[in-house]
């Protein structure tokens, strides 16, 4: 197959360069890059149909991809479907069989024959089957979850962020290309309710033998497409939001309906707070659902996975250690915050997933502030800083399926908080979040785009701040010393151009040091002046004698 050899040759040079720099393998590059098997076509719509066999722990079905041509110079299409799943056949417009070959987790489809076709829009149907990878510790080490509820009923779902949607269905498994016209999910399993993203287009909640047909009208990340199979109850509510009346659907396990009715009252409090801070809920057309899941939680768009056992905090504990985290159900608040950051505003490359996690982690603080005030909220966010490990840069390596450090949660949240403090205007900070969600509504963006937006809106010289805290693990060190009635100070271990206002108290009087890499001076009232620095994650302190 000449087309395959030609394509492999194009990637070899890129792969060698990537390996030389990052030591990632070819599969990492294929999965994480917008290469020549992906960049010439744009997904418009997915129609995913599949049947579940719980006894054999297998699935089989088809995915019809509607796509448009971006570049007529193409010879192959990359379809992602991870081993041990198997692609059985592929048909263009359901009548023209497409040949393909496998390379690990990727199938190469031969499109040389289609070069002379006049149309720009195509339908490609992919038939597949297999035994999908089972999750070890979902949602972190993800995959399929085959388990039972406390009454012994089968309880099945999937959580695949990081692992990828191609672990269980064939698709373009790349965050930078979402289906512009949404998706249909049509699951089937006899005798059980099957909940998915979007709105129910066919089937009934109380008819477990129905063919459920879920319709998602908005673009969606492939890893967010999911389903939940179990014996579910159903509760309905509405929320009068900033855009219109939002339909809310709750799906607890049937025997947890009473607990859910009380606990899920927090959902409307969450929506009220987040619409205040971020603007309208981004998926009114698809509604809002929260579904009890056989794992802790996941931001599945319009179908939030909930597994926090109907308790306050994070598994009943407070990640901040301040007590504030026990005032709300962490999973309801955090995973729903992703509807704005992650699901609506999406990082095109997972290396920039701090956009998802940093803003969403800070959404917990904003939720607490809306309901219990700034003092408790600020204590909460400072408490979370103890979880920062500073093990590697927040931003990962681009194009190789590298999501960077786990610090994309708490360190990136601390960065958002610090930008807010640097702006020193809460109304402008809130206006920035609204403008951000309006500007990047349903878009896939890069970290640079987000950084440029914040710099442009705030008018602050923040680029060295972003470079320091997102692209290095260096911790700035404020070095200071007394010389008579002078305080001398500077920052070490910083990137070029880095400057930071440092709050200080001298004899209980507040002041601000504009510190950079050069020694500067501040006059003291007395040789014995009492000097204190409020705690912050942004720098370390070192007194030089």
Query: What integer pLDDT is reported at residue 113 of this predicted model?
Result: 66
pLDDT of 59 reads 97
User: How far apart are the C-alpha atoms of 339 and 344, rounded to whole Å?
Assistant: 6
Upstream peptide bond of 179 is cis (omega within 30 degrees of 0): no
Percentage of the chain beyond pLDDT 70 is: 93
Half-sphere exposure of 412 (CA within 13 A, CB side): 27
pLDDT at 462 over 90: yes
Residue 116 has pLDDT above 70, yes or no: no
Residue 545 CA: distances (Å) to CA of 182, 506, 542: 63, 18, 10
Closest CA to 79 of 178, 2, 166: 166
Residue 347 in contact with residue 175, Cβ under 8 Å? Answer: yes
Read off the pLDDT band of 11 (50, 70, 90): very low
The phi, psi pair for 89, rounded to 5°, reads: -160, 165
| Residues across the chain | 545
What pLDDT does 470 receive?
A: 98
Mean pLDDT of 516-521: 96
* CB-CB contact of 473 with 391 (8 Å): yes
Judged against a pLDDT cut of 70, whether residue 83 lies above it is answered with: yes
Helices (H) then strands (E): counts for the chain: 11, 29
Quick check: 466 pLDDT over 50?
yes
Instruction: Say if residues 122 and 45 touch (Cβ distance below 8 Å).
Output: no
Q: What is the pLDDT of residue 536?
A: 75
Chain mean pLDDT for the chain: 92
Do 220 and 183 touch, CB atoms closer than 8 A? yes
* Strand ranges of the sheet holding 143-148, from the earlier edge strand across to the other edge: 143-148, 154-159, 227-230, 193-196
Q: Residue 526 — pLDDT band, cuts 50, 70, 90?
A: confident
φ/ψ (deg, to 5) at 16 = -60, -40
**Position 74 confidence tier, pLDDT thresholds 50, 70, 90:** confident
Domains along the chain with CATH numbers: 337-471 (1.10.390.10), 477-543 (2.60.40)
Instruction: Write down the pLDDT at residue 275.
Output: 98
Find the angle CA(244)-CA(246)-CA(250) to the nearest 5 degrees: 175
pLDDT at position 208 is: 61
CA atoms within 13 A on the CB side of 284: 14
| The pLDDT value given to residue 205 | 67
CB atoms within 10 A of CB 527: 10
* 33-35-37-39 Cα dihedral, nearest 10 degrees: 100
Average pLDDT (281-297) is: 98
pLDDT band at residue 18 using 50, 70 and 90 as cut-offs: very low
Give the pLDDT confidence score for residue 7 in this predicted structure: 34
How far is Cα 74 from Cα 234, in angstroms, rounded to an integer? 48
- Angstrom distance (rounded) from CA 504 to CA 522: 11
Mean pLDDT of 129-147: 96
Structure pTM? Answer: 0.93
Provide the pLDDT for residue 12.
33
Largest Cα–Cα separation, the chain:
88
CA dist., res. 295 & res. 27, Å (int): 28
Partners of residue 195 on adjacent β-strands: 228
pLDDT at 190: 76
As a whole-number percent, the residues of the chain with pLDDT over 90 amount to 84
> SS in 3 state form for 430-471?
HHHHHHHHHHCCCEEECHHHHHHHHHHHHCCCCHHHHHHHHH
Q: pLDDT at residue 534 above 60?
A: yes
- 208 vs 220: which has the higher pLDDT: 220
- CA 153 to chain CA centroid, Å, is 31
Please compute the mean of the pLDDT values over residues 208-216 and round it to a whole number: 83
Res. 219 pLDDT band, cuts 50 70 90: very high
Q: What is the mean pLDDT of residues 449-462?
A: 98
Distance separating alpha carbons of residues 318 and 383, to the nearest angstrom: 9
Q: Calculate ∠ Cα 488-492-496, nearest 5°.
A: 115
CB neighbours of residue 83 within 10 Å: 11
* Predicted pLDDT at 527: 81
Residue 96 or residue 271, greater confidence: 271
| Whether the predicted pLDDT of 15 surpasses 50 | no
Q: What is the mean pLDDT of residues 477-493?
A: 93
At 20 the pLDDT is 35
pLDDT band (50, 70, 90) for residue 112: confident
Cβ pair 106, 30 in contact under 8 A: yes
Using the predicted structure, report yes or no on whether residue 441 has a pLDDT greater than 80.
yes
Lowest mean pLDDT, pick from 34-43, 94-103, 521-530: 521-530
């Amino acid at each position: 197959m000449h087309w395959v050899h030609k394509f492999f040759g194009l990637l070899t040079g890129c792969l060698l360069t990537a390996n030389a720099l990052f030591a990632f393998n070819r599969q990492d590059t294929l999965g994480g890059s917008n290469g020549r098997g992906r960049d010439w076509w744009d997904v418009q719509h997915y129609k995913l149909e599949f049947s579940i066999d719980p006894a054999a722990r297998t699935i089989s079905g088809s995915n019809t991809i509607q796509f448009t041509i971006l570049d007529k110079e193409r010879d192959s299409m990359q379809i992602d479907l991870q081993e041990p799943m198997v692609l059985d056949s592929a048909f263009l417009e359901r009548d023209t069989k497409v040949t393909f070959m496998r390379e690990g987790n990727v199938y190469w489809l031969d499109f040389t024959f289609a070069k002379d076709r006049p149309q720009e829009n195509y339908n490609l149907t992919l038939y597949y089957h297999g035994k999908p990878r089972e999750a070890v510790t979902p949602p972190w080490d993800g995959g399929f979850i085959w388990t039972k509820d406390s009454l012994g009923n089968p309880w099945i779902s999937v959580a695949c962020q990081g692992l990828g949607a191609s672990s269980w269905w064939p698709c373009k498994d790349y965050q930078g290309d979402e289906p512009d016209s949404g998706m249909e999910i049509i699951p089937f399993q006899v005798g059980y309710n099957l909940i998915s993203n979007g709105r129910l287009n066919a089937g009934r909640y109380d008819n477990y033998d129905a063919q459920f047909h879920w319709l998602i009208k908005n673009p969606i990340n492939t890893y967010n497409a999911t389903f939940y199979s179990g014996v579910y109850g159903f509760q309905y509510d509405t929320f009068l939001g900033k855009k219109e009346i939002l339909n809310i659907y709750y799906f607890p396990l049937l025997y947890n309906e009473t607990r859910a009715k009380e606990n899920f009252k927090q959902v409307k409090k969450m929506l009220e707070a987040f619409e205040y801070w971020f603007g309208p809920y981004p998926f009114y057309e698809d509604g809002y659902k929260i579904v009890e899941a056989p794992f802790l939680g996941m931001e599945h768009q319009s179908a939030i996975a909930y597994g926090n056992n109907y308790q306050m905090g994070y598994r009943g504990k407070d990640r901040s250690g301040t007590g504030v985290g026990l005032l709300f159900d962490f999973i309801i608040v955090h995973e729903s915050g992703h509807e704005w950051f992650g699901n609506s505003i999406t990082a095109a490359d997972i290396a920039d997933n701090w956009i998802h996690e940093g803003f969403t982690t800070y959404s917990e603080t904003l939720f607490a502030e809306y309901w219990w005030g700034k003092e408790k909220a600020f204590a909460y966010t400072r408490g979370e800083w103890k979880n920062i490990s500073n093990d590697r840069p927040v931003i990962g390596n681009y194009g190789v399926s590298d999501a960077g450090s786990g610090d994309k949660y708490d360190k990136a949240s601390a960065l958002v908080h610090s930008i807010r403090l640097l702006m020193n205007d809460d109304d402008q900070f809130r206006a920035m979040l609204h403008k951000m969600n309006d500007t990047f509504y349903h878009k896939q963006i890069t970290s640079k785009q987000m950084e440029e937006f914040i710099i442009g809106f705030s008018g602050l010289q923040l680029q060295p701040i972003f470079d320091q805290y997102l692209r290095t693990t260096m911790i700035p060190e404020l070095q200071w010393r007394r010389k008579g009635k002078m305080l001398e100070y500077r920052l070490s271990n910083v990137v070029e151009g880095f400057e930071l206002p440092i709050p200080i108290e001298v004899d209980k009087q507040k002041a601000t040091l504009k510190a950079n890499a050069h020694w500067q001076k501040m006059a003291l009232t007395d040789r014995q002046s009492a000097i204190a620095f409020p705690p912050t994650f942004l720098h370390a302190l070192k007194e030089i004698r």
